[in-house]
Structures are given as structure tokens and as C-alpha cells.
């Protein structure tokens, strides 16, 4: 599956903004990414495998609220860093 990586995480992927990963759920994709790019998963989910408040994950055009979301027929998983400021 193609995974879109946000700019704040490309240091983990040697500058790549799109990478390939395998898995049947969002959690499995993140595990595969972490094997290939150590440390990336911890920036996306916390110690309880909850998606961090400042991160968003989309499976196709549907936002994943939890990492146990199945990937079925989706062609792409998108990871976004939410913007904040004042």
C-alpha cells in the first residue's frame, strides 16, 4: 500500500514523501513502517496505540479514528500533521 508521509516525518524516511508498506490494518501498516523507518510510529501514535492529537490518518478519503481500522480496498493511507498556532 502507498503511504503518504507528512513533511514533519520525512526525516525518518530519508526525505521520501511516499513510501510503500504492507498490512491489513492501520496498526499493521504503522508497524511495517516502523520496521523500515525506526521511530516513525511513535511520532504518529502514543504508547497506548492511540493516534496522537496532532496527527490525522486517512484511509482513502475516510479519516481513521483508531489504528484497528481495516484497509480492505483502499489504495492509499495518508498521514497528516495537524496545524496549530496562534
pLDDT, tens digit only, all 86 positions of the chain: 999 999 999 999 999 999 999 999 999 999 999 999 999 999 999 999 999 999 999 998 899 999 999 997 777 999 999 766 55
Grid coordinates given for 75: 489504495
The model's pTM is: 0.91
What SS3 state is found at 59? strand
**27 exposure class (CB count in 10 Å sphere: 0-12, 13-18, 19+):** middle
The topology (CATH level 3) of 2-81 is Ubiquitin-like (UB roll) (3.10.20)
Amino acid at each position: 500500500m502507498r503511504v503518504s508521509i507528512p513533511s514533519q516525518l520525512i526525516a525518518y524516511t530519508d526525505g521520501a514523501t511516499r513510501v510503500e508498506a504492507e498490512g491489513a490494518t492501520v496498526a499493521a501498516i504503522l508497524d511495517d513502517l516502523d520496521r523500515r523507518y525506526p521511530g516513525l510510529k511513535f511520532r504518529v501514535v502514543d504508547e497506548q496505540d492511540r493516534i496522537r492529537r496532532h496527527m490525522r490518518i486517512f484511509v482513502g478519503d475516510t479519516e481513521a479514528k483508531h489504528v484497528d481500522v481495516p484497509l480492505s480496498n483502499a489504495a492509499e493511507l495518508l498521514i497528516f500533521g495537524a496545524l496549530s498556532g496562534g
